[in-house]
Every structure is written in structure tokens, then in C-alpha cells.
Structure 1
Amino acid sequence: MHFRPATDADLDELVTVQAEASVAALADVFPQATHPFPHAEIRERWQAELADPDVAAYVSSGSSGSAGRVTGFAARRRDELLHFGTAIDTWGTGLAGDLLEALVDTYPPGTDRIWLTVFERNPRARRFWEKNGWAPTGRSSRTQYPPHPVLLEYELLR
């Protein structure tokens, strides 16, 4: 896996990877017939985050059979993990674990707690975080995207 900072040149491919994975993983949460993936809004959000000096965004590429294409993405701001995902065809290959390890290594020394939110109705993602040492904090919120499903907060203590 090649892990590097994301650039504006990655934007379209990054959004495509996120959209495909989100639609597959969250079909029960965001039925596409009534709540389609908001491509334009997500692209604008990523564009703003790539320009934000407080956000560190990364992509992975170069896993088996994928030289050069974006295979995963991650972004963080201070102690929060903002975005994380991998291309559908990499699911089950170990790429997500490698990407997570590379991302956690980018947090500054002294960052004792990292946190994120995950959809309550995404058991696959919740299993991934728990398998990698993250624990639910008991706090929850709702996403800004209709139908506003519940997000659970998870944390990793280092």
C-alpha cells in the first residue's frame, strides 16, 4: 500500500470510491431511491477540507492490481478521525487495517485519545473499529444527511 497526502487531483476518484462504498455499506440506512448519495455536496465538503490547514487528508493506492488508483481514503482534524474508507474491491484484503495503522501514525505525539463517529446501523464498520481497539463512548448524535440516522461515537485511547 502506498499512503500519501490527498490532493485536489484525487478529488473525483476519492469521491467515487467513497460513494460506491457508502452505497454498498449503508443501503439500509440511506435507501438510494429516497436518499441518494449526495455526490455534489460530498465533493464540495472534500474540496473545502483539502484546503483547510486543520484537516490532514490521505489516500492509499497501489495495492495488488490497482497501481496508481485510489484504493482508500482517510482524513483527520486534531483528535477526530473525520473520514475513513476503502474501495469495495479491497474489502476483506487487510487494506483497511493497513490504512488505519498509517493514519493513526500521523497523529501528533501526545494525542492520547482519537475519536470518530460511525453509523449505528453499520455493523460491519462497528466490528472493524472494535476489532482494532476502538470502543463506544456512549455518546451519539445524528447526521446532517436525511433521514438523519444515528451516529455513535467511538474512541481509541493511546
Structure 2
Amino acid sequence: MTSPSSSEQDLLRPMVAEDVDDVLDVQEPGAVRGLADVFPQDLYPFPRDHIGRRWRQDLLAPDVDCLVVVLEERVVGFAALRHDELLHLGIAVEHWGTGLAQRAHDAVLARLRDRGVTRAWLTVYTGNRRARRFYERLGWSPTGATTHGPTPPFAELLRYERALDA
């Protein structure tokens, strides 16, 4: 198994409760912009309070590893892992297209590999074309299995999987 490089390690740190507001400040613009086709804001505005409660619950869950992406001592992204699942990954809109999301992705996968995970999975809203292109470019494959999101409009989620080569 390979260990993450020091720059990858420096990119991520464990999330703490005091980070939740910063994470929401990163997550909300990305969700509004990236999920506009899934959650039209006039019908389904970003549920900041609900998402904040979910992050706080995840922080307390012993099987969830919540992380923040830090650049120049500022929270610019987030990730969460549970066992072999990549639960969440997001980068501040102002960093889209810079390669930071791929660096964070690679650092998160290195953490999974270090835990002995050989195959990981995630779900993406089927209508989130940007995220689907991102994950597919990085070697994730849709399995065809679907579920539905936990909040209205209960949009379809598509499962992706990826082998984690050493």
C-alpha cells in the first residue's frame, strides 16, 4: 500500500464541529450551481439547516470520517467516508477547474487504500452531469443501480464503483 504524499496529507484534515459553517459556506454555492437541474432553487432551495444537522450527526458517527479540504489555512472543500463509500466530496466553486477537486479526490482514495479498501463506491444524482463527468474521468463506473435522495424531490441517485489499485 502506498501512503499519501505529505502535500496530500496537508490538503485534508479531520473536520471538527467548528468547521460546519465554513463547510456549508462552501457546499451551498456548489450545490445551487451544480445541482440546479436536480433541485431548482425556486422549488427546492438549499436546505442549509438540514445539511448542517446532517454534518453534525456525521461528525458524531463512529463509522463516518468527515474531512475538510484546506488551502492556505482556509476551508475550501469537504469529504466524508464511511467504510468503502465516498459519501461526500465538494470543492468551493471558485476552485472548480483548477485541479483541486482531483487532488482532494486522490487524497481521499489514498485514505481508503490505507484502510485496506480495494473497491470503493459512491452515489451521484443522475441529473448531476458535472459530477458524473468528473467521476467517470477519474475511473469510476456507473453500475446501473439506483436509489433516491433523502429530501424532496427525492431525485434519483446512481451508484458508481471503482477499483482502488495500489
Aligned length: 154
| Structure 1 match to 2:109 | 104
In structure 2, runs of 5+ residues without a counterpart are 1-9
| Structure 1 match to 2:18 | 9
Separation in structure 2 between the aligned mates of residue 121 and residue 149 of structure 1, nearest angstrom: 8
Matched, 1:78 2:83: yes
Q: Deviations over 1:55-107 (max 9, x none)?
A: 11111111xxxx22211110000011111100000000000000001111111
Supply the AA of the counterpart residue of 1:16.
D
TM-score for both structures, normalised by structure 2? 0.89
Question: Conserved in 1, the CA contact under 8 Å of 2:15 and 2:67?
Answer: yes
In terms of fraction of residues, the more helix-rich structure is 2
- More divergent stretch after superposition (102-111 vs 90-99): 102-111
Separation in structure 1 between the aligned mates of residue 16 and residue 116 of structure 2, nearest angstrom: 27
Question: Secondary structure at the residue paired with 2:111?
Answer: coil
Question: Where has structure 1 moved over 2 Å in runs of 4 or more?
Answer: none
2:154 to 148, 151, 157: 148
1:36 to 8, 27, 45: 45
TM-score for both structures, normalised by structure 1? 0.94
The Cα shift of 1:19 comes to 1.0
User: Alignment RMSD, CA only?
Assistant: 1.1
Q: Percent identity?
A: 45
Separation in structure 1 between the aligned mates of residue 35 and residue 11 of structure 2, nearest angstrom: 27
Question: Secondary structure at the residue paired with 2:46?
Answer: coil
| Structure 1 match to 2:28 | 19
**Which of the pair has the greater relative contact order for Cα pairs under 8 Å at 6+ separation?**
2
